[in-house]
Structure 1
Amino acid sequence: MRVMKWSMIALAVSAGTTQFAMASSQDEAKGFIEDSTLTSKTRMLYMNRDYRNGAGNIAKEGGGFKSGYREDWGLSELLNYESGFTQGTVGVGVDAFAMGTVRLDGGAGRQGNGLFATRGNGDPEDTQSKIGGAVKFRISDTVLKYGNQFVASPVFSTDDSRLLPEVATGTLLTSKEIKGLELSAGRFTSLSSQTGMGRDSINGPGEPGLTAANIAGATYQFTDNFVGGVAASDVDDYFKKQYVNLNYTLPIAESQALNFDFNGYRTSSQGKELAGDVDNKIWSLAAAYSLGAHKFTLAYQRSTGDSGYYYGVDGGGSIFLANSVQYSDFNGKDERSWQGRYDLNMASYGVPGLSFMARYVNGDNISTSEGEGKEHEFNFESKYVMQEGPAKDLSFRLRSSVYRTTSNYGVDTNDVRVIVEYPLNIL
């Protein structure tokens, strides 16, 4: 996403005109137990990837592969406990989680969608589990947390697209002392994958993993409708990365609004260059028009530099771009891509909780060893969330992707996912 030096002067000037909060979060602390929460999230995920035109994971005589597919089905449970903070000038608390998966289907010949780890004999694991925790301290509206945690920074973001989320280990400082301004800084020294139960398993056995990632960021709410943010990271022996976001909403009428969202990155390799020679600038601009139950979105994304955009060792979610969709991220070398999207919220038609989405993305100008590569992807999604009763918030979601590409850039794929999720507040 792009080359840029980020200056904090504008943010500091704007923040200086705001007022400090009259009472801090720590002043209102009720206690370690009194402010505790315990939640659970049960997720069932069925995932099928059908590889077309000779691709796949089934070998054929004479070399190559037959048309094949990967099919997995599993169940996961995530328990998450967050204590309150003790009272006093310095509040102390702890966060803890326990999570695990059970394989319902998907043998060695069909697995490979990232739902389960693989044993030495090639079979997927039947069950997996992981526990972790972090200690936290709060002074006023500033929180310091150390230990295992889920992170959502544009330059270091743990992924939760399968059964279990990635987990990072390190220190994160978050400050909201000035109204409208949020500052963050952190250092993370390990990252476990969604199927890796070990402390540092993001790149698999025998491969270099995360050594250390230093991150910093700032987000400022300029007005009720305008938000801006910057972030930067330094991942040892991999790369340095900078990010910027501008988001503006223009109200038009009671049921109409126009939103503009700009995201951009610049990435440059460093040190041992464990990710290769990375030199990339990539940005996206999306414009969304909302009209009652309907939303229409157009987006453009552009990648330049000597390589495509790289992420993963800094978290599988570290790609805050408009055209990062269900299957492809449209982040190839020199790639340019357009998106058209339509969303429908059926609440306006008497069916609250039901929604639909259709999206088409087309990318071209990709630099490959065989010349220009092209790709396109069509997505369809439907979701229903229970609105009341004992199963309130239980959701059913169907995601479908048809992906096609040219040259040697990728593999034609049909991707279908069925996701059932039930979040529950226990405390």
Structure 2
Amino acid sequence: MNKSSLALAIALGVIAQQASAAGFIEDSKATIGLRNFYYDLNTKNTADDRGAVNEWGQGFLFNYTSGYTEGTVGFGLDAVGLLGLKLDGGGDGDVSDSRKPGQLFPLDRDGKAVDDYSKAGVTAKVRLSKTEARLGTLQPKLPVVTFNDGRLLPQLFEGGQVTSSEIDNLTLTAGQLEHTKTRSSTDDISLRIAGATAVGGVQADSNKFYYGGADYKIGKDLLAQYYYGNLDDFYKQHFLGLTHNWAIGPGALKTDLRYFHSDSDGKNGSLAGRADGYLAQGEINGANRVTGVEVDNDTWSALFTYTLGGHALSAGYQQVSGDSAFPFLNQGDGSTAYLITDRQIGKFLSAGERTWLAEYAYDFTKVGVPGLKATATYLSGDNIDAVGGDRKEWERDFRLDYVLQEGALKGLGFSWRNASLRGNTTATDADENRLIVSYTLSLL
């Protein structure tokens, strides 16, 4: 048993003794989310001509949040239980099948999608004044680490986190993560970045990701952020962010500025360590593969969104500089980067890449159809570092969402997400569709 598991067991024992205390039960909430997910991917230039992925599943997402026991120090317990059922597994997985499974479900030894899979987690929590400590299952949503929820079931992390709001307008956060259950896996997986490899059958990874930062609200319209993240033996990262809202005439302009500075840490900073697989992604070489390098990256972006009535128009730019791609926690089974360019298919974070984006969204509430929203996005990236000349890519996304506003099924949501990616990078050209029906039932 590792230290975190032992600490969690002790905390759960303390909480169990006080679970009947006032506040713990009265303030508890429980929901079960129903998510029906159809996924269709058609890749255009796969080497083995197995370019189709068609999978369909039903997800059940149970969430329980307790209140706190009474007293100066309050104790509580949260829990999550996730179950995914296969409705269509996406083919047999062998070379004779044009369909290739592996997006919504874990794969069995024969290459087929499993019939069902599940994962669960508990979180012990302690509150003192305006400070809360959490130990166990976490789903952080921060600039230096963000959980992924892009498939049937969400990603889970394990670790500890402390959040404090003792000072007005200032929120402080610090934590450590040890491993993750990715979105289509039930296994505890150690942490790494894209580019890390296995040498001699041993995967280069880490069980220590440290993070911390501050959110400071300057007036009602300006938010300043600083965060630090460190994946042991891979990288150290500093983040600065500024978000501002400005009323201009009948509309409003939102400005979102982000800057990341990332350097190597531990084994990634040494020749011996990189020889053991502690690598980051670098330039594309002549074999259409990404070169493994030391982390060396600066990424900055600016996104401006003007809203007027039901209209929202956005324009943004992002620059990736340095010898490596933008580093972030990425176990290869779907991860999220806190970038304005992290979209439905691509992330536009390669070494040297420059990306322009434009987006238009319309909320149909203004024309008498509340709950209906449409969004169209276009991104164009170029200057991607590669042997023999820079490369480029583009992506076009369209999204249509509708949520019932009244009646017995109020809150029932429908989402269609369509995207196309093209370019001459290591990624394959792809067309993708997602159809999602979701509904949340309140149990407590």
**What band does the TM-score fall into relative to the shorter chain?**
0.7 to 0.9
Q: Are the equivalent residues in 2 in contact too, given 1:192–1:201 (CA < 8 A)? A: no
> Aligned Cα RMSD in Å?
1.9
**Match for 1:77 among 45, 53, 60?**
60
- 2:24 counterpart of 1:41: no
**Match for 1:259 among 250, 254, 272?**
254
2:42 is matched by which residue type in structure 1?
Answer: D
What is aligned with 1:409?
Answer: 426
State the 1:317 CA deviation: 5.0
Ranked by relative contact order (alpha carbons within 8 Å, sequence separation 6 or more), the top structure is: 1
- 2:127 counterpart of 1:132: no
State the 1:405 CA deviation: 0.2
Q: Are the equivalent residues in 1 in contact too, given 2:243–2:255 (CA < 8 A)? A: yes
- 2:309 counterpart of 1:305: no
Q: Are the equivalent residues in 2 in contact too, given 1:32–1:93 (CA < 8 A)? A: yes
What is aligned with 1:328?
Answer: 346
- 2:229 counterpart of 1:237: no
State the 1:283 CA deviation: 1.4
2:409 is matched by which residue type in structure 1?
Answer: A
With the length of structure 2 as denominator, give the TM-score of the two structures: 0.84
Q: Are the equivalent residues in 1 in contact too, given 2:336–2:342 (CA < 8 A)? A: no
Q: Are the equivalent residues in 2 in contact too, given 1:263–1:320 (CA < 8 A)? A: no
Pairing of 1:20-419 with structure 2 (within 5 A): 31-52=23-44, 54-55=45-46, 64-66=47-49, 68-105=51-88, 106-109=90-93, 110-112=99-101, 114-200=103-189, 207-253=203-249, 255-273=250-268, 274-276=278-280, 277-313=294-330, 317-406=335-424, 408-419=425-436
2:438 is matched by which residue type in structure 1?
Answer: E
Residues 47-104 of structure 1 show CA distances to partners (whole Å, capped at 9, x for unaligned) of 111111x32xxxxxxxx32262111111111101111000101000111111110011
State the 1:210 CA deviation: 3.6
What is aligned with 2:13?
Answer: none
Q: Are the equivalent residues in 1 in contact too, given 2:191–2:331 (CA < 8 A)? A: no
State the 1:263 CA deviation: 1.5
Q: Quick one: distance in 1 between partners of 2:103 and 2:266?
A: 30
What is aligned with 1:19?
Answer: none
Q: Are the equivalent residues in 2 in contact too, given 1:341–1:357 (CA < 8 A)? A: yes
Q: Are the equivalent residues in 2 in contact too, given 1:235–1:314 (CA < 8 A)? A: no
What is aligned with 1:61?
Answer: none
C-alpha spacing 1:83/1:195, structure 2 compared with 1 (3 Å): same
With the length of structure 1 as denominator, give the TM-score of the two structures: 0.87
State the 1:42 CA deviation: 1.1
Residues 366-414 of structure 1 show CA distances to partners (whole Å, capped at 9, x for unaligned) of 11234211101111110000101221111100011111102x4321110
- Gaps of at least 5 residues in structure 1 are 1-28, 56-63
Indicate the percent of aligned positions where both proteins have the same amino acid.
34
State the 1:121 CA deviation: 1.2
State the 1:202 CA deviation: 6.0
Q: Quick one: distance in 2 between partners of 1:108 and 1:271?
A: 42
In structure 2, the residue corresponding to 1:368 is in which secondary structure?
Answer: coil
In structure 2, the residue corresponding to 1:347 is in which secondary structure?
Answer: helix
Aligned length: 388
